[in-house]
Structure 1
Amino acid sequence: MKKFGLLPRIILAIASGILIGSIVPSEVIEVFATFNGLFGNFLGFAIPLIIIGFIAPGIGQMGRGAGRLLGLTAGIAYFSTVIAGTLAYGAGSLLYPKFLQTGAFKGELENPEEVLLSPMFQVDMPPIMGVMTALLLSFTLGLGMAALKSDALQNVMIDFRTIIEKLISTIIIPLLPFHIFGIFANMTHGGQVATIMSTFIKVFIVIIVLHFIMLLIQYTIAGTIAKKNILTLFKNMIPAYFTALGTQSSASTIPVTLRQAKKNGIRERIADFVIPLCATIHLSGSTITLVSCTMAVMLLNGQVPTFEAIFPFILMLGITMIAAPGVPGGAVMAALGLLQSMLGFDATMASLMIALYLAQDSLGTATNVTGDGAISIIVDRLTPSKSIQ
């Protein structure tokens, strides 16, 4: 199964869930619902740990970087991420109300027990702290580690992040296809699959178009600043794009991204610093996907995704997902806390969000790493040679 990529497993889970949910009796669906309940409770327990494990060491490490170069790179990467999220909001506000059935799941998502079958039993797994407490603790620890000269706590938090990455990659991600299978089997049994699938297809098309629009914006700016041919710059990054499609991890694609960035004429020391850093802090593609999927789920639940609600969410995404690209699916795992605390997502809405996001996670990751190449061009052009001697 490890050789069978996450995307094929997600697609297989969705298809199998629809098939099984339409033919098996309620008693079988209740078994799947029981697994979903247990897994959902465990995911709720893990969310604060994921937030602390990703954010605290990420902020701590960024605070120890190479001064001006770090600030310039982080600023451009964050600005790019926010622009991507705002682009997704604008497109979603314009298009989604026209082809999504607003409120189609309002009753089901607000009161899932009225349509979806309930688990046969539940096991409470309370988290050690609330989501907002975890966020505040992460910022406090991260900023504190950045100010301290000692590496003791930083090393502990890096080890803790490794544990969380292992938790995601060896337990949560492998079990997610089964969780999604159960969700779709249950919703198919409840008669909602047609609405789900029509939503998936329409949202996917919008997301893919937005990814390429964002890359066009990034490379137009980079090419203009560097006075280089835009198509040539983008063509050189295509191997990184397709590598990321396979790995679904910005971090795992770093060697290829680095090699292709240098082919665009970026100075070696700039590329060696910017590309690995952007692999952990620049998530324009993932942000487009997360914002688009979030708005779709909100509309299905009858909620209006206003700019006042979504823009603060976008601003927090750029910080919360630091270091999340290290594992496939890490971005949506890190975003779950914000979805709950800022937008009021419950377990059912979060599950739909996970399914929507993971089904095209590789496309977002590919957009992330390809955009890293554009950022490295901009940073290279804006950094004087004497500052990297």
Structure 2
Amino acid sequence: MTAVPLSFFQRLKRTSLVTQILIGLIAGIALALLAPEVAKSTAFIGKVFVSALKAVAPILVFVLVMASIANHRHGQETHIRPILFLYLLGTFGAAVVAVGASMLFPSVLVLSTHDVAITAPGGIAEVLQNLLLSVVENPVTALMNANFIGILAWAIGMGIAIRHAGETTRTVLGDLSNGVTLIVRMIIRFAPLGIFGLVASTLATSGFGALIGYLHLLAVLIGCMLFVAFVMNPLIVFWKLRRNPFPLVLICLRESGITAFFTRSSAANIPVNLELSKRLGLHEDTYSVSIPLGATINMAGAAITITVLTLAAVHTLGIAVDLPTAVLLSIVAAICACGASGVAGGSLLLIPLACSLFGIPSEIAMQVVAVGFIIGVLQDSAETALNSSTDVLFTAAACLAQEEQTQPAA
């Protein structure tokens, strides 16, 4: 009799993480349908999982970037510049796509009238000022508040400084990086349980019809992300490699995008991307820096979210948008996206920055943020899948292009 449960758990352990996540998703939907009151009590499970991700993500970025730079030896090639260019090009291009889609298919929201006592920045100058202040923030405060721009700046500075330290110090830092990565992988193994709790409690509380009123907005968001993933990104990769980009695109979406879709954290998906980069045979000294860096600044999905929701508020309020303003919005959205947190829901908190360009008061802007959280069940998952898979895609494109350029000379 004991062989049956043992066999079941052994089979479950051998099942892929994606399959286990799908099982947790289906189980959460079923529980919300059959026992809504019980499903509401599972919110604690989901909250624990999300809190664990938020807790480990800042430390992960700090340690991984610092260790990668510290252990980089003089004379090693990293090819980071072309990857950074692709990151910035992809993020800005995604914002432009979102502007075009929002103009073709304008969304109108039903905004509530309750007041929110939060003030938005005054414009692009203040956005840049806030980014600069984030860079020089106290490192302990940056870690506590998940200020990823500040964390990245300190990690780069410490990594450069420790490069001149002894071999033992750099070895210890490398071991620390491996230890933090192992902890993240352990947390991700509990993703099926966390997703079960999140889905069951959300559907039981909000109801299955909660997203119906926002289907148009959600369709524009997801449509933009699909367009970027299957049209714009392949065009960028083709421009870089001059060959069929879709095999590489599909591998990155399947191996990285699906996992990121369910974990909803670019930072927590870093170990998955590092492993995929290794299997693709990419330059280790390149991807060990570009992947953690991409989890912080390569945010095409965040640029789409910020742009689409901002323009939804603009259309709701009847504000006219001309071409120069649309271009400026794309630039601001790209800048804001680079400052988006690497954990779930980070881009939504930057919507007031973009709304301030149109003189939209913070009370309205924060209502738009609330709408974003309502549709966040799918929006944030799709956004993270696009962000994280693009990290590997652009790293691979740059590395493969560099290999092809150097191969004839060998």
Q: TM-score if structure 1 supplies the norm length?
A: 0.63
| Change beyond 3 A, Cα 1:363–1:155 | closer
Paired position in structure 2 for 1:291:
303
| Change beyond 3 A, Cα 1:49–1:379 | same
Structure 2: how far apart are the matches of 1:385 and 1:64?
Answer: 30
| Change beyond 3 A, Cα 1:286–1:316 | closer
- Secondary structure of 1:252's counterpart equals helix
Residue 91 in structure 1 maps to residue 97 in structure 2: yes
Among residues 51, 58, 72, which one is paired with 1:65 in the alignment?
72
Paired position in structure 2 for 1:353:
376
Q: Gaps (5+ residues) in structure 1?
A: 112-126, 224-228, 262-270, 321-331
Structure 2: how far apart are the matches of 1:186 and 1:109?
Answer: 23
Once the 2 structures are TM-superposed, how far is the Cα of residue 175 of structure 1 from its aligned partner? 0.4
Once the 2 structures are TM-superposed, how far is the Cα of residue 63 of structure 1 from its aligned partner? 4.6
Structure 2: how far apart are the matches of 1:38 and 1:298?
Answer: 32
Write out per-residue CA displacement over residues 229-265 of structure 1, whole angstroms, 9 at most, x where no aligned residue: 523xx3664674475268743233235422xx7xxxx
Which amino acid is 2:299 matched to? T
Paired position in structure 1 for 2:188:
169
Once the 2 structures are TM-superposed, how far is the Cα of residue 374 of structure 1 from its aligned partner? 1.9
Paired position in structure 2 for 1:78:
84
Once the 2 structures are TM-superposed, how far is the Cα of residue 88 of structure 1 from its aligned partner? 1.3
| Change beyond 3 A, Cα 1:336–1:63 | farther
| Change beyond 3 A, Cα 1:370–1:137 | closer
- Equivalent residues, number: 332
State the superposition RMSD in angstroms.
4.8
Once the 2 structures are TM-superposed, how far is the Cα of residue 365 of structure 1 from its aligned partner? 5.0
Structure 1: how far apart are the matches of 2:115 and 2:186?
Answer: 28
Once the 2 structures are TM-superposed, how far is the Cα of residue 147 of structure 1 from its aligned partner? 0.8
| Change beyond 3 A, Cα 1:177–1:146 | farther
> Which range moved further: 245-254 or 178-187?
245-254
* C-alpha contact (below 8 Å) 2:297/2:339 kept by paired residues: no
Once the 2 structures are TM-superposed, how far is the Cα of residue 16 of structure 1 from its aligned partner? 6.2
Once the 2 structures are TM-superposed, how far is the Cα of residue 77 of structure 1 from its aligned partner? 1.5
Q: Gaps (5+ residues) in structure 2?
A: 1-11, 118-141, 260-271, 318-325, 354-365
| Change beyond 3 A, Cα 1:348–1:99 | closer
| Change beyond 3 A, Cα 1:358–1:238 | closer
Residue 130 in structure 1 maps to residue 136 in structure 2: no
Once the 2 structures are TM-superposed, how far is the Cα of residue 153 of structure 1 from its aligned partner? 6.2
Paired position in structure 2 for 1:147:
161
Which amino acid is 1:87 matched to? G
| Change beyond 3 A, Cα 1:172–1:108 | farther
Residue 211 in structure 1 maps to residue 217 in structure 2: no
Residue 50 in structure 1 maps to residue 57 in structure 2: yes
* C-alpha contact (below 8 Å) 2:48/2:194 kept by paired residues: no
Structure 2: how far apart are the matches of 1:245 and 1:340?
Answer: 25
Write out per-residue CA displacement over residues 155-201 of structure 1, whole angstroms, 9 at most, x where no aligned residue: 46415522541354034564034313422333326x53213444444
Structure 2: how far apart are the matches of 1:54 and 1:84?
Answer: 21
| Change beyond 3 A, Cα 1:347–1:95 | closer
**Aligned pairs for 1:102-141 within 5 A:** 102-104=108-110, 129-132=144-147, 136=150, 139-141=153-155
Q: State the percentage of identical aligned residues.
A: 9
> Which range moved further: 377-386 or 287-296?
377-386
Structure 2: how far apart are the matches of 1:348 and 1:55?
Answer: 32
> Which range moved further: 80-89 or 344-353?
344-353
Paired position in structure 1 for 2:203:
184
Among residues 255, 268, 293, which one is paired with 1:244 in the alignment?
255
Paired position in structure 2 for 1:314:
337
Structure 2: how far apart are the matches of 1:383 and 1:137?
Answer: 35
Which amino acid is 1:178 matched to? G
Paired position in structure 2 for 1:266:
none
Once the 2 structures are TM-superposed, how far is the Cα of residue 154 of structure 1 from its aligned partner? 2.1
| Change beyond 3 A, Cα 1:167–1:300 | farther
Paired position in structure 1 for 2:263:
none
* C-alpha contact (below 8 Å) 1:52/1:135 kept by paired residues: no
Q: TM-score if structure 2 supplies the norm length?
A: 0.60
* C-alpha contact (below 8 Å) 1:84/1:285 kept by paired residues: no
Residue 230 in structure 1 maps to residue 243 in structure 2: yes
Structure 1: how far apart are the matches of 2:388 and 2:102?
Answer: 23
Residue 376 in structure 1 maps to residue 399 in structure 2: yes
Write out per-residue CA displacement over residues 35-72 of structure 1, whole angstroms, 9 at most, x where no aligned residue: 4367447735752541122234324413542557555x
Structure 1: how far apart are the matches of 2:46 and 2:77?
Answer: 39
| Change beyond 3 A, Cα 1:152–1:185 | same
* C-alpha contact (below 8 Å) 1:222/1:378 kept by paired residues: yes
Write out per-residue CA displacement over residues 128-163 of structure 1, whole angstroms, 9 at most, x where no aligned residue: 93233x753563255224312132762464155225
Structure 1: how far apart are the matches of 2:350 and 2:225?
Answer: 24
Once the 2 structures are TM-superposed, how far is the Cα of residue 376 of structure 1 from its aligned partner? 1.3
Structure 1: how far apart are the matches of 2:287 and 2:101?
Answer: 34
| Change beyond 3 A, Cα 1:237–1:88 | closer
Once the 2 structures are TM-superposed, how far is the Cα of residue 278 of structure 1 from its aligned partner? 4.5
Write out per-residue CA displacement over residues 61-105 of structure 1, whole angstroms, 9 at most, x where no aligned residue: 13542557555x222212211211111111112213543533346
| Change beyond 3 A, Cα 1:44–1:20 | closer
* C-alpha contact (below 8 Å) 1:278/1:372 kept by paired residues: yes
